[in-house]
Amino acid sequence: PALLQMSGSQPQLGRGAPCLRCRGLCTGFEPHSWRKICKSCKCSQEEHGLSSELDDDRKIGRLLSGSGHASLTARIKGGDGARIYKRNRMIVTNPNISGKDPTFDTVTYEWAPPGLTGLRAMQYMEQVPRELQPVAGTEGALHRRRRLARQLPLHDQDPAQCRGLAEGEHRLMEEFVKKYKAEALGVGEVALPGQGGGGKEEEKPQDKSIDPGRAPESPNGALESTATAGNYRCDTCQQAVPGDCPVVYAARAGYSRQWHPACFVCCRCAEPLVDLIYFWKSGAAWCGRHYCESLRPRCAGCDEV
């Protein structure tokens, strides 16, 4: 992938990166002087995959540093205090016995929920639509990279990436970033229902319209056992959550609320929250882009707040 090259305080993106949307029709990324688009095909920067995996890990490391999730980062040696995202990658090896001699198929997930390995991580992935699973070399992995660029723009967290900020504006941007890290930024936690935050489930008001002594009904009218249906429901779709299926918790929402992995989405754009990174506001989870836009106007030209 093309790399970022700095010129003054404004990043100049490398030319020639192919467009992931145009699929060969674009002659290669040609940076606009101030809009964050390609002059050749008019597609956005994220459609050209301009950043490398290392760039993405550095960006998320910067975002999480100084927040309550700094433990998901590590200090870069010789990086002047800069931190990098300790991304959880997962490699799954499956035996293939279809032939005469058994072989092994290896599948690499470019991201998995923090702290999860083995069975629980695979249970989580099975609840994510196949086309969105971040398997290396697939459309799902590309989709994750696009969401990283779209939902978490570098210029929303690093004043040095913004065009021509005055000294006072630079300081205001730094204060804005510091404030949202302290008050809104979070990373979803994956656990079995009732076990989020180490079992810190909060007291939930009981729905008085349901007889507590009667097991809930399934869609076909049959009674489900409490062990199967439980008292847990997804906060988005309101469907029952099986007790043996992992769900997503957001600490800022409290541990009485949980989401199916596919239902943990931005309340504005309904896109799955990339790497479970969310911003909490007005009782809902937002992606970084739309959270910042809800507080500051975003320029339709340069895409900066």
The larger pLDDT score, comparing residue 296 to residue 99, is at 296
Question: Tens digits of per-residue pLDDT, 3-59?
Answer: 333 333 344 445 677 777 776 678 777 777 666 777 778 777 667 665 689 989 999
- The residue to which tokens 């799902």 are assigned: 140
pLDDT mean across residues, the chain: 82
Residue 144 within any structural domain of the chain: no
116 in Cβ contact with 88 (< 8 Å):
yes
Residue 8 within any structural domain of the chain: yes
Residue 246 within any structural domain of the chain: no
Q: For residue 301, what pLDDT band results from cuts at 50, 70 and 90? A: confident
Residue 61 within any structural domain of the chain: no
The total of structural domains in the chain comes to 1
What angle is formed at CA 39 by the lines to CA 35 and CA 40, rounded to 5 degrees? Answer: 155
pLDDT at 48: 67
pLDDT at 103: 73
Question: Tens digits of per-residue pLDDT, 82-94?
Answer: 899 999 999 988 7
Please state which of the ranges 92-101, 116-125, 164-173, 188-197 shows the lowest mean pLDDT. 92-101
pLDDT above 90 (res 130): yes
pLDDT at 28: 77
Please state which of the ranges 13-17, 151-155, 217-221, 274-278 shows the lowest mean pLDDT. 217-221
Q: Helix %, strand %, coil % for the chain, to 5?
A: 30, 20, 50
Residue 161 within any structural domain of the chain: no
Spatial separation of the C-alpha atoms in residues 234 and 261, rounded to whole Å: 10
pLDDT at 34: 64
Residue 264 within any structural domain of the chain: no
Q: Give CA separation, 9 vs 3, 38, 187, in Å.
A: 16, 20, 30
In degrees rounded to 5, what are phi and psi of residue 111? -155, 145
Query: β-strand 4-7 against 10-13: which pairing, if any?
Result: antiparallel
Residue 202 within any structural domain of the chain: no
pTM of the entire predicted model: 0.79
pLDDT above 80 (res 146): yes
Which structural domain, as residue segments, surrounds residue 18? 1-50
Residue 27 within any structural domain of the chain: yes
Question: Tens digits of per-residue pLDDT, 203-240?
Answer: 333 333 333 334 444 444 444 433 344 589 999 999 99
Q: Can you list the alpha helix ranges (DSSP code H) found in the chain? A: 53-64, 118-126, 139-151, 167-183, 226-229, 288-295
pLDDT at 96: 67
Nearest to 17 by CA among 56, 59, 46, 55: 46
